[in-house]
Amino acid sequence: MNYHILKKSELDWFIKKLSRKMKVCAPVAKGHGSFAFKEVKSAGEIALSYIPTILPPKKYFMPPREKLLDFDLSGGKPSDTAYLEAVKTALFGVHTCDLAGIQCLNMVFAERPRDYNYLLRKESIFIIGLECNAYCDGYASCALVGNHNPNGGYDLFFTDLGDRFILHVGTQKGEELAEGLGLARAVPADMVALAGVRETKKAVFRNEIGVGLRNLPGILAGSVDSEVWKDLGERCVSCGNCTNVCPTCYCFDMADTINLDMKTGSRNRSWDSCQFESFAAVAGGENFRAERAERQRHRFYRKFKYPLNKFYRSFCTGCGRCTRTCMAKISLKDTLKALAAG
C-alpha cells in the first residue's frame, strides 16, 4: 500500500474533514496523567503523546455493557428482536499495542460460533494508528511481545517525522480516504526519514525480561507449583482491574432483565473477569479456581501460554495497563522475570 504525507499544521483540517464523514474518537487528557478515548471535533483536543488510555479502544468493538436483544413473552409464542448499535466511527491515534489487541479479538470472535455483534460493529470502525517513538512509561513491555513497531490492523497509520506525519495505508478504505482528501504521496526523502525513526527505536525498545517470547509457554508449563503464584495470591485483592483494562480480555456475563410488566425485557451482556471468585464457580458449589493464586496463574497462562499454542501469538500486547492499574502493585514484568529465574 501507499504512503502519504500530512503536515502537522493540517492535522486540524484532517480531523474536521473526517468528522464530517463519521464520529471521531481519539485519546484525550483526563487529568492526573490519565487519558481516555472520547469523541473529538478538533485536533486541539487530542493528546498526541499519551500513556495507554484507562480503557483500551476495545470498548468500541465490545462495549462494557451491551444489549443483545429485546424479548416479549406476552403472546402465545415468545418473540425476540436482535439489537445492534454500530455507529460509523473513526478511532484516531491508536497505539501499536492496542492495534495488536484488536487483532487478537478479531481472531477470537471470528472463530465458530462467531460473534456477529462484534464482527458487524468492527466493519463500521475506521482505525487510524499512531506510532510510539519512545516508551510510554516504565510499565510498558511492548518490545517483549513485538508490538513496538506496527504489524497491521489499521486503515491508516501515522508516524511523526517532526514537522509532518507520514501515513501508511493499510486498507482500501484507507487509500480511498487519503486519495479523497488529496493527500500528497510520500517522496524518497520521507521514506529515509521513516527508516531513521525505526532505526532509532531499535536502541530504545528492548526486551527487559531476559527471555524470548517463544520461551514463555515452556517456562509457564514448568511453573505450575511455583512460589511466585503463592506470592501473587497473597497480594491480589481480586478487584478485576487487570482484566477490565486489558486489550485482549473478552470474558463476559449474560443477564436477562425483566420489565415491570413481567412480560417484556432485554438480554444484556457485560464484561466479566476471571479474577472474581465467582467466575469459575459452577452448580453444586464447585469452584475450579477458588484461590487467588490460581486465578492469577490462569491470567498469565491466558496471555503467554494458551494463545501462543493456539494462535501463535501473545495475548499480552505490552501496554502495561494491568500493572499500571493494579491496587496491589503486582507487576507483569517483575512476575515474568521471577518465573524465568525459576
Q: Between helices 332-341 and 227-235, what is the axis angle to 10°?
A: 160
Of 48, 99, 93, 58, residue with least CA distance to 317: 99
Q: What is the pLDDT of residues 136-161, one digit of tens each?
A: 999 999 999 999 999 999 999 999 99
Cell numbers found for residue 306: 494458551
Specify the DSSP element, H or E, that contains 131.
none
pLDDT above 70 coverage of the chain, percent: 100
Cα–Cα distance for residue pair 197/111, rounded to 1 Å: 37
pTM exceeding 0.75: yes
Of 144, 137, 157, residue with least CA distance to 35: 137
User: How much is the pLDDT for 82?
Assistant: 87
Q: Is the pLDDT of residue 63 over 80?
A: yes
Cα–Cα distance for residue pair 323/52, rounded to 1 Å: 12
Q: What is the pLDDT of residues 209-259, one digit of tens each?
A: 989 999 999 999 999 999 999 999 999 999 999 999 999 999 999 999 999
Domain boundaries, given as residue ranges, for the chain: 3-204, 213-341
